[in-house]
Amino acid sequence: MTDYRKKLEACGIAWPELAHPNLPFAPTKRIGDVLYVSGQIPEVAGEVAFTGKVGAEINVETALKSARLCAANAIYWASDALGGDLDRVVQLAKLTIFINATPGFTTFSQIGNGASEVMNAVFGARGEHARSAIGVAGLPANVPVEVEAVFHIR
């Protein structure tokens, strides 16, 4: 087991087991020394773990769990794109966290912290990143959170 898997498990998250989606886009795209990871939803073993709108069916605690799973899935796809060698990550440059929330909900940054904390725990100083956490009217499969990532790699 790699150190990255151990660090993720220390966060209380098992290493994801994801299948390449049958969609008209890729989970990752590398351009030079930048790796873009498509938006990740809170999926565990091919199943959506949480659905609903934050502030209605989903509370902040569950939204935080969702953000953490999304971050883990982004790490999984980065690892997949890098042939399992996450040592090639120079820096996590940017995270964008989308929160499917009710009108008037404003605790987006707190939910975004769930994803940020996972990245910081797994990558250490290389996990420090710029970030946006924004509310949206809806997300695919009615998930509460979606996270996309941009990595600087070698």
CATH domain 3-153 topology: 60s Ribosomal Protein L30; Chain: A; (3.30.1330)
pTM over 0.85? The answer is: yes
Write down the domain spans for the chain: 3-153
- The pLDDT value given to residue 21: 86
Note the pLDDT tens digit of each residue in 103-141: 999 999 999 999 999 999 999 999 999 999 999 999 999
Q: Give the amino acid at 140.
A: P
- The pLDDT value given to residue 2: 79
Question: Encoding tokens for residue 137?
Answer: 């009217």
Q: How many CB atoms lie within 10 A of CB 93?
A: 16
Q: Are 153 and 90 in contact (CB under 8 A)?
A: yes
- The pLDDT value given to residue 5: 96
Question: Encoding tokens for residue 79?
Answer: 């690892």
Q: Are 54 and 108 in contact (CB under 8 A)?
A: no
Question: Encoding tokens for residue 133?
Answer: 């956490």
Q: Which residues of the chain carry a pLDDT beneath 50? A: none
